[in-house]
Each structure stands twice: as C-alpha cells, then as structure tokens.
Structure 1
C-alpha cells in the first residue's frame, strides 16, 4: 500500500523533473546536480550528529595527525566539485561512513581502536571518500526512490524540485546509511579506497590489517555496525590482499654493474645478517640437534632458543628487534619470527611447499622469502605485522633475494632483477604544537642545625 502511494506521488514529480532536465544544458545540469548532492548530504548531518552524540574534539596533537591523513587523501582525489569535510563523532561505536557532497564521519571509538596506525586509518577514510567520489550515496537514494531513470538523462536538476522531495530524499538517505550502499559499491570502495591510500603515500596493507585487527574475520557479530551489512569480510579481505601485488613494480633486469657487484657480494655473505645489531647476543646454528645456541654477553651465559625445533638459517632484522628463522615444523619447512628474547611471535608456511631463504627489508617491516614451487622458487613477500603473502617476482623464479634501500632484488639465472613497492611516506605534522613543560612538584626537606648535629624535617611539597 505504501509503495503504491509513493509511486503515485513520484509519478507527477518524475514528469516535472524530466521536463527540467530536457530544458537544462549539460554544464548547467552538472552544476545543479553538484548542489543537490551537497544539499542532500547536508540535510542529513544534524540527524547524524544527534544519533552519535554530537561532534567529538580530539586532543590537539591527535586531531592534527588525523586531519593530516585526511588532507593527504583528499589531495589526490579526482572530483574537483566536492569540498570534503571530516567530523569525529562522539560515540564509542566502531563506525565510519560518508554522506553525498563530501561529508565524511568517523567515531572516536574507531579512531581509538585503530590507534596510531596511519595505514589503517587511511584505509578507512579512503574507503569512505571513494563512496563520495563514485556517488554511491546519491545514486542509491535515487534508485530507492524509483528515480533511477533520471540517472540516464540528467539527474542533475533535482534541486529544482520542492522541499518535500528533498525531505523524502533525506529520510531515504538516513535509512540507507545504516544499510550500506550495496555489495558492489562496497567492493569498489574497498579496492579504490586502498588505491587512493597508496596514491597518497600510505601502505596499502592497512586495508587488510584493518579487517584482521579491528574487525574479527568471519564473525557473525562484527563490532562495527555498518560492516555487518557489508559483503562477507573474508571475501573483502582476500580481494584487498590480492590487490597489493598490483602496486608493486614489474621486475626489470639490473644493468648497473656497481649494483650487481654489490648484490653478488651480499649473496655470498650470510654472516652480516646473523650479527645482532644490538651487540648483545652471539647466535649459532648447531650442526646437530635443535634450537639456536645463544651467548648473552650482558649476563655472560649461554641459553638455547627455540628448543626442540630444527633451525636451518636465521637473520636479525635491521634494527635488531626481531629474528627470522627457517625451521622444520613437522614435515614442512616454515618461516618463524621471534622477538629479541627468543619468543616466537609469528609463523608463515605454505602447504606442500618449503621456504628456503629469507631477507629483511631495510625498514624491518617486511621479509622476502623464496618458496619452492613446481617451476622453481617463487619470490614472495610477507609483512611483519600483517598476515599477507605476495608473489612479487612476476613470471620469474628466484635463486636468491636481497633488499637494498632502492627495493627488492632477486637472482634469476645469471641475471639480477629489481622490483619495488610504492613509496610510503610517514605522517608528519607541518606545524607541530610545542610541548609545554608542566611544572612538577618536588620534595624539599628542611635542614635544621642543632648544635653539632643536623636534623632533616619531613619533606614538604613545594612548587619550583
């Protein structure tokens, strides 16, 4: 019954709107459509603020950090007709969403859950910005209202209609915000938002680790309300992981002789990567037996790490915070990562394939590994803080892999090949707020001389 009334109401309006469309030139129609999109989104802002407890003001340092990430993303967007704004909502709920016309929202709860991971925050904001860039919101509203036909002929004159139509559109928008813009729109926002973050200088792995860290993959009750209505989280995660390879450069032959000589020298020396950068431990792989024999020079004693595990090779991370090992785990040769005290923190293994070599990136956040396959050893990369595995060697197999500051190099036959990930630029605050030194109370005892003796009274609190 309700549907039929809406159809009767929209019927005349559709005729009127089509009439205006036919009278409008393409440039004018586009301008009107941009104003309608902004007006539609703006009309829903007060209700959004009401539902989520109003706007939250972050501490100034954190606010500048969030705004800088948002600014870098907006700087690389394509639509010049949109003025983007970011609002922090005063809600502990894990949520983020966007309204047509440039309005992006994120809750303080989600910011708190993300912490200081700029790649994950860029993934969230990039996802929401993409919804606006692709007009997912306004298009979903028009489809829901039965006005999708206007998309084909020039929907951009909707603001010429009455305020009644805008009120209905605004109510429809608020309903759809909690439901999402549709499965395909969410897939597009995932991948395009990830690409937007990479373009802005953030690591695309943030989109994957976000789903791993903040949202429980496969859970039927995800903490973020809007994600419960999005496509299956595991499918989204797998798509985002697969897309990471596309951001790496195509492997090319290294022709610089100086670089080749440096690579050959590094290939023939394993001792350098076995030396503890902190200078505390001397680590030896025993010829027989299991574990690593470690001499702790600080306490002057021997210890054994990873007991009962056959270790084939190891390498310290450049900063010395982690140690990577190739070990036997059952019948499989795996990659293990341990902390500086010999505790296992992560393992990487592939069913039916053996990991034969590893190499740390200069930043210590990635590892290149060689994985035996039917056609030879594949060159793959994994992250220290994310469960991803990328095949970056293209059509080539590898016999050795070495990281330099300029990227990843791997040997194939008599040639060396080079590939690299996109440049990641850490967030820096352009005008940092100076740290104000707070006056601290100190204990100041009173000294009293009594003849040949000195007596100290109970210290009193004073402010210098």
Structure 2
C-alpha cells in the first residue's frame, strides 16, 4: 500500500511540475480531431433524442433548419454537417453539442415564437460550436486523464465520462461572451433583425425559473453581457437606436423619433416592441430603393400593422392609442407621418 501511495504521490508532483513548466497543451493543439468531435456530439445527440424525443411537426423542424442554415452560411466554421432540431420538452432551453448538433426545446419555441428571437438563440449556440468551447473543455480534461491513464491503466471509460461531463457542465464567462458576440455576428450578417440578440438575452433574463444547463449552464452578469452586445451594435453602426426609462421605450435616430411604446402587446414588453421596430427599420433602410412611399398600413380587427414593402415595422393596438389619449386612427397617422419624414432626415444626417 505504501509503495502505491508513494507512486501516486510522486506522479502527482511530477504532473504538477510539468504543468508549471510547460503548461497544459492549448486546445488548438488538436487533441480531438473533427471526426472525433462529431462522434462525441453524435452520442450526446442520440441520448438527447432518446430522452426527450423530437417534436412531431415537420414544418417546425424545417423552419428551425432553415434559420440555422442561414446562420451557418455566414459563420466561420463550415467544416461540419450541422443539424438543427426541436426537442419535445417544455423546458425553455437550447444547447449545442460538439460536431454541429444544435437543439431547441419546444418550450423555448413557444416562449420565443418569432424567427428573429430563434435566430438569436441559434446564433448563440452556433457560436459555441464555431469556437469549439465544449471541445476545448474536453481537451483540458483529456490532458490530465491521459497522463494519469498512462500510469494507471485502462482510461477508456474514464475518458468517455470526462467527455460527457464536459459537454453538460456549461461554459465559462469568457465562453458565454464569445458566444454572444458570435450570435450577434451571425444574426446581423444573415440579415435578421440586428436587435435579435438583445431581445433573446433580455427575455431569458425575465424568466423566474432557470434551468442548470444549455442556455442556463452559465448565465453570468446579464447586465454586462447586454452592454457588450450593445457595443457590438454601436461598432456596426446599427440605427435607429432604442432608449428606455424602464417604462416606455422610444425608437430614435438623432433628433427623429417615433411615438413611444408604453404598453405590452402579445407578451412583448414596450422595450422588445421598440427593439423589433428599430431593427425592422434598419433592415428597411438597407433596401437599395428605400423611400417613404413604400410604407403602408394594414388594418385588422385588433389594430393596425405598418409595413415597409413586406417587412413588418410595427403593430399598433387600441391599447397603444388609449395609453396616449388617442384613437387608433390618430396614432397610426402619427406613426406614418413620422416614418414618411425619416428617409429625408436620415439622408440629411448622412450627408
């Protein structure tokens, strides 16, 4: 017993000395090949699908795949055959397994029904795969395991457990911030609402009960993460901007602004409604033939929807009008008047 104890202690100190002198091999050293990464991810994917099952909705599965494919097309990693699927679970969650396997839980689709919100989530999860976050965690564990495994024998089962644990353990703050940055980049370059990441992050933070893995495996410092995404948007010169005092939210572009959003609609707070509108206007302004006479209004039983061509800009309700002491017709006219002013004012500032 004493002999083995001395042997273990000696090897441990040798290992510590090696770490101090040489450090752990970086993840870029490629301990895990792309094929191995895919194999590990495939096993995780198999377990997830066995546990939860897939939502039996071909249209929804196709929609998620379509969103994911658009994001992959602008990503920095196209060497994988990606898979995007919806798990039949009411959890509000999503996760990415190594090798290109991205899963959205049905509960999250119900909570974030728009393509823009889902693109923000998928773009973030794709970021983890692009930056190989789970793989790097596994490689760090393998570095230790291989050294001790060589000394003590069969390491196969140990390595497999370490791999599974690393995948489900979550990410560091640095990893999460990198995935946020990638998520913004993916949605922005793919042509989705550039405010998608802000809507996604804020809505997740609104949830009273958060899980312990996937999106919530590490959800640190939400305020600072939001500020970083806002910085990415500023660097990308995204306008109009949104300002809020916590109760009302306004879409502004220098001295120009729309009537403030002050009430919630269809589960969206004033801030989120302003984000949707600001982002939609940004996309509208990207139209080479952008001009004011392409804004239009469609009236519905519950309110009015303003479009730029086929791009929805804002939905206005009777509650919006009442909160401002106006009729819906008056509020809609005010919105349209402001929107008709915007192209000229925007061009004047740019000039």
TM-score (norm 2): 0.59
Question: 1:403 matched to which residue of 2?
Answer: 342
Structure number with the higher helix fraction is: 2
Deviation per residue, 1:5-26 (Å, 9 max, x gap):
9x77x97xx9xxxxxx9xxxx9
Contact 2:133/2:171 (<8 A) preserved: yes
CA displacement at 1:202 relative to structure 2:
0.7
Cα distance in 2 for residues equivalent to 1:81 and 1:195: 19
Question: 1:114 matched to which residue of 2?
Answer: 112
- Report 1:43-58 matches (<5 A): 43-50=43-50, 52-54=51-53, 56-58=54-56
Contact 1:338/1:344 (<8 A) preserved: no
Contact 1:95/1:224 (<8 A) preserved: no
Question: 1:231 matched to which residue of 2?
Answer: 220
Contact 2:146/2:155 (<8 A) preserved: no
CA displacement at 1:105 relative to structure 2:
1.4
RMSD, aligned CA: 4.4
Question: 2:317 matched to which residue of 1?
Answer: 339
- In 2 relative to 1, CA 166–130 (structure 1 residues): closer, same or farther, beyond 3 Å? farther
CA displacement at 1:225 relative to structure 2:
4.4
Question: 2:235 matched to which residue of 1?
Answer: 246
Cα distance in 2 for residues equivalent to 1:32 and 1:140: 11
Question: 2:85 matched to which residue of 1?
Answer: 87
> Any idea what SS the aligned residue of 2:116 has?
helix
- In 2 relative to 1, CA 149–120 (structure 1 residues): closer, same or farther, beyond 3 Å? farther
> Any idea what SS the aligned residue of 1:178 has?
helix
CA displacement at 1:79 relative to structure 2:
1.9
Question: 1:452 matched to which residue of 2?
Answer: none
Deviation per residue, 1:58-117 (Å, 9 max, x gap):
4232222222111111122222321111232221111111111111112111112111x1
> Any idea what SS the aligned residue of 2:342 has?
strand
- In 2 relative to 1, CA 64–36 (structure 1 residues): closer, same or farther, beyond 3 Å? closer
Deviation per residue, 1:143-195 (Å, 9 max, x gap):
23445999xxxxxxxxxxxxx65643442233233331211001100111111
Question: 2:169 matched to which residue of 1?
Answer: 179
CA displacement at 1:138 relative to structure 2:
0.7
Contiguous gaps of at least 5 residues in structure 1 = 15-20, 151-163, 252-266, 268-272, 275-316, 324-336, 346-358, 369-400, 420-464
> Any idea what SS the aligned residue of 1:202 has?
coil
CA displacement at 1:43 relative to structure 2:
3.0
Contact 2:133/2:175 (<8 A) preserved: yes
The number of residue pairs the alignment matches comes to 254
- In 2 relative to 1, CA 79–90 (structure 1 residues): closer, same or farther, beyond 3 Å? same
Cα distance in 2 for residues equivalent to 1:222 and 1:30: 34
> Any idea what SS the aligned residue of 1:87 has?
strand
TM-score (norm 1): 0.46
> Any idea what SS the aligned residue of 2:206 has?
coil
- In 2 relative to 1, CA 236–361 (structure 1 residues): closer, same or farther, beyond 3 Å? farther
Contiguous gaps of at least 5 residues in structure 2 = 19-24, 148-153, 241-254, 260-294, 306-314, 325-333
- In 2 relative to 1, CA 238–149 (structure 1 residues): closer, same or farther, beyond 3 Å? farther
Match of 1:192 among 173, 182, 185: 182
Of the two, which has the highest radius of gyration?
A: 1
Structure number with the higher strand fraction is: 1
Deviation per residue, 1:423-448 (Å, 9 max, x gap):
xxxxxxxxxxxxxxxxxxxxxxxxxx
Cα distance in 1 for residues equivalent to 2:61 and 2:172: 31
